[in-house]
A and B are shown apart, each in its own frame.
Chain A
Amino acid sequence: MGGLLTEAFLSSLFTGAIVAAIPMLLAGLGEQMSEKAGVLNIGIEGMMLMGAYMGFLVAFKTESLWLGFLGGILGGVLVAIVMAVLCVRLGLNQIVIGIGLTLGVEGLTALLHHFQFSRTYPRLPAPERLNIPGLTDLPVIGPSLFGRHLIVYLALIAVAVLAYLYRRTNLGMTLRAAGERPAALDVAGGNVLGIRVFATLFTGGMAGLGGAYLANIGAGLFIPFMTGGAGFIGIVLAMLARGRPLWVLIGSLIFGAALSMTTALQVAGSNIPTDVIQMLPFAAVMLVLVLFGRRAKLPSALGAAYERGAR
């Protein structure tokens, strides 16, 4: 194992950990808000994938990374609107619709990608690696912690802002009430469905941004099914964080490190099959759930649609 601890290995591990952590951090922060408000958002994987697709597409067409991020947010919100209408407004089963949305976005983005890029690139194995200005000189290659894309720092600021929001503001209290005792919030004059719709859309936006980061900065291209469970890991992060944004950050860094082992071990030239290395983040999630699963705390009205007057 001594050969593993080379400079190349460590630098790619650290770099990879942050690059891999940011999408999960954004997804986890987003999921945290809707879980607080009582919506178990299984569709987050789909929102993330739509964000990745739209984010990549916009960045590719406009050659602007920032518009790409905006497109990613929009993509996530679009899927979240469907979720909000069906699960919050109409009170349909959140898990069935969540799985439905994830499957649908997987199919839809793969389909759209197939039809768009077989036109742009007549050859089928299209070289999606693009030369978007701003992307090529991004500091993903840089081994240091500094000089990353601005979005990384925005994500860190979001952790602090959300922590403040949950603890010190009216909105934070309202969110918690919507998840714990929606009926009490309703009686107190709060708008349960409104706050839940807001939380769901926020989740969509954050997940979409995370997806766009994954596609535009993490990979530099869009591949169908590219989120590969990152959204689900976001759900686990939110579950284990017990409502604390800072814990989501810590968790995402740990899982990011596990994910980046894939590339790092390949750089180190180890001959462990990639399948084994790809298992690491999921194994880490299971290990954490086995050790701390009991301590996960979820709002009491999570997953239950709110209907006024229903018992």
Chain B
Amino acid sequence: MTMQQDTNPSSVDTEAAASGAASATATERSAFQRFLTVTVGPIVAAFLLSAIILMLVGVNPLTYYGYILDRSLFSSLGLEQTATRMAPLLFLVASLIIAFRAGIWNLGTDGQFLLGAVIAAATAPLLVGVLPGWAVLLVGFLLAALVGAIWSIIPALLKAYQGVNEIITTLMMSFLGVLLASTLVKLAFRDPTTTVPQTRTLPVADRLPRLFETSISSGLVWGLIAVILVHLMMTRTSFGLRLRMVGANPAAATHAGLSVPLLTMATFGLSAGFAGLAGASEILGVAGNVRANWNPAYGLMVIPLVFLARFHGVGAIVLVFFYSALMIGSESAARRLGVPQNFTLVLVASLLICLGLGEYIDQHKRKKER
């Protein structure tokens, strides 16, 4: 039942660390070439591949891509929407960086995200007036993190103490979580004053404050802080080192005296907690309530970004910005150009595949050099 190291998400970046022994100029050049093969190349290739599919369905890819850029980056409203959309994605990136660096495939972020969102939407409006504004938001975020973490307990226990593959258990819990969230909205937390099933709405004045004179939610700032903190925790603290040891080689970590089951539990708890925070940031910052059957499904879509950034926080932030722009642009394009938003799925998939190919080419080249 134990997975081999090669399937471990964290094994992807171990090779990257190994390349740096050659002389200074040679590394500089190869570092640039490496950047081209493993980052720029896959992105360009993915857009080209998706352009072919656009042409197949009779859409001019230049018009489409141009429209997306125009709507998301070259207009002030689009740029503000893009920045606001980054908040939940950043929290999800933080969640996945922890999990992947610790060698855990948390593929259940969608369920954790939605349950976090629902609990935040269920409690925050009721607390308005009871608690001061900042405390309402704090309670909402904390509850969301807690609920997200709770939703990962079963996969965590099964992985830590029974060795059950977490890919399947987190996916199953995700399906369950999405349906449970919708059930909770319809049965338990339904706003009695509306006809459509949705939770009570948090008044705009009580949501996360906006930045300066713009419409950008300050969730963006918290998301950035979360990613940076997680990055520092994983790379600069002994706790992070322990998690990475478990990710790199659980057997060796056991021999080094680490409690692998406990660290596995901690990884799940932290990762799922951040996924819950992502849900809360969307609700407390932007939406204000959860409608029944609402599921933006950000979770799986963020995975390629985290891989593309090689689990590096700063790199991921840059990618989230562009991805967020892509989402905002394609949502607009879905309305105006009649290209369904599902096209972003195709783009993300091409990105994942081209990314893998770039990695392959890179490794092949390095083998030749040796």
Binding site for B on A (CB under 8 A): 40, 42, 82, 86, 90-97, 99-101, 103-108, 110-112, 114-115, 224, 229, 232, 235-236, 239, 273, 275-276, 278-279, 282-283, 285-286, 289-290, 293-294, 296-298, 300-305
B3 — which chain A residues lie within 8 A by C-beta? 302-303
Tell me the residues in window 128-182 of chain B with beta carbons closer than 8 Å to chain A beta carbons.
154, 158, 162-165, 167-169, 171-173, 175-176, 179-180, 182
Q: Which of B73-81, B221-229, B274-282, B342-350 contacts A (4 or more CB under 8 A)?
A: B342-350
Selected A-B contacts with CB under 8 Å, 8 pairs:
A107-B345, A107-B347, A115-B58, A229-B172, A273-B183, A279-B176, A293-B158, A302-B3
Whether B12 is near chain A, meaning CB under 8 Å from some CB there, is: yes
CA distance A24 to B48 in the complex (A): 35
Min CB distance B185 to A, Å, is: 9
Tell me the residues in window 6-41 of chain B with beta carbons closer than 8 Å to chain A beta carbons.
6-7, 9, 12
Q: Which of A99, A111, A282, A293 contacts B346 (CB 8 A)?
A: A111
Binding site for A on B (CB under 8 A): 1, 3-7, 9, 12, 53, 57-58, 105, 107, 154, 158, 162-165, 167-169, 171-173, 175-176, 179-180, 182-183, 186-187, 300-301, 303-304, 307, 339-340, 342-353, 355-357, 359-360
* Most chain B beta-carbon contacts within 10 A, residue among A112, A282, A305: A282
A96 — which chain B residues lie within 8 A by C-beta? 303, 307, 352, 355-356
Q: Which of B107, B172, B179 contacts A286 (CB 8 A)?
A: B172
A294 — which chain B residues lie within 8 A by C-beta? 1, 162-164
* Most chain A beta-carbon contacts within 10 A, residue among B53, B179, B347: B179
B107 — which chain A residues lie within 8 A by C-beta? 99
* B356, A289: Cβ atoms closer than 8 Å: no
B187 — which chain A residues lie within 8 A by C-beta? 273
* B345, A289: Cβ atoms closer than 8 Å: no
7 smallest CB-CB distances across A and B, nearest first, come from: A107-B345, A104-B349, A100-B352, A303-B7, A293-B164, A110-B342, A107-B346
B355 — which chain A residues lie within 8 A by C-beta? 96
CA distance A111 to B340 in the complex (A): 6
* B172, A106: Cβ atoms closer than 8 Å: no
Residue of B whose beta carbon sits closest to that of A224: B342
B176 — which chain A residues lie within 8 A by C-beta? 279, 282-283, 286
Min CB distance B39 to A, Å, is: 16
Task: State the total of A-B contacts with C-beta under 8 angstroms.
Answer: 163
CA distance A235 to B165 in the complex (A): 11
CA distance A122 to B365 in the complex (A): 52
Q: Which of B12, B180, B307, B356 contacts A86 (CB 8 A)?
A: B356
B7 — which chain A residues lie within 8 A by C-beta? 40, 93-95, 302-304
B12 — which chain A residues lie within 8 A by C-beta? 93
B105 — which chain A residues lie within 8 A by C-beta? 95
B175 — which chain A residues lie within 8 A by C-beta? 229, 232, 279, 282
* A289, B167: Cβ atoms closer than 8 Å: no
Given A239-B168, A289-B172, also A111-B179 (CB < 8 A) = no
Given A99-B107, A106-B345, A229-B175, also A90-B357 (CB < 8 A) = yes
* B158, A289: Cβ atoms closer than 8 Å: yes
* B360, A90: Cβ atoms closer than 8 Å: yes
* A111, B343: Cβ atoms closer than 8 Å: yes
CA distance A228 to B352 in the complex (A): 21
CA distance A276 to B180 in the complex (A): 7
* A303, B4: Cβ atoms closer than 8 Å: yes
Given A100-B356, A290-B154, also A107-B349 (CB < 8 A) = yes
Q: Which of A94, A104, A293, A304 contacts B162 (CB 8 A)?
A: A293
Q: Which of B168, B307, B340 contacts A289 (CB 8 A)?
A: B168
CA distance A303 to B169 in the complex (A): 17
A286 — which chain B residues lie within 8 A by C-beta? 154, 169, 172-173, 176
Min CB distance B148 to A, Å, is: 17
Q: Which of B158, B345, B356 contacts A93 (CB 8 A)?
A: B356
**Contacts A95-B167, A107-B344, A232-B171 supplied; 4 other A-B pairs, CB < 8 Å:** A100-B304, A107-B346, A235-B168, A282-B179
* B353, A100: Cβ atoms closer than 8 Å: yes
* Most chain B beta-carbon contacts within 10 A, residue among A82, A108, A283: A108
* B167, A108: Cβ atoms closer than 8 Å: no
Min CB distance A161 to B, Å, is: 27
Given A276-B183, A293-B158, also A99-B352 (CB < 8 A) = yes
Residue of A whose beta carbon sits closest to that of B334: A114
B359 — which chain A residues lie within 8 A by C-beta? 92
Residue of B whose beta carbon sits closest to that of A283: B176
* Most chain B beta-carbon contacts within 10 A, residue among A107, A279, A300, A304: A107
* A296, B57: Cβ atoms closer than 8 Å: no
CA distance A303 to B6 in the complex (A): 7
Min CB distance B84 to A, Å, is: 24
* B6, A239: Cβ atoms closer than 8 Å: no
Min CB distance B87 to A, Å, is: 22
CA distance A242 to B186 in the complex (A): 40
* B4, A290: Cβ atoms closer than 8 Å: no
B352 — which chain A residues lie within 8 A by C-beta? 96-97, 99-100, 103-104
A94 — which chain B residues lie within 8 A by C-beta? 7
Min CB distance A121 to B, Å, is: 15
Given A282-B175, A293-B162, also A108-B53 (CB < 8 A) = yes
CA distance A66 to B125 in the complex (A): 56
* A86, B357: Cβ atoms closer than 8 Å: yes
A110 — which chain B residues lie within 8 A by C-beta? 340, 342, 345
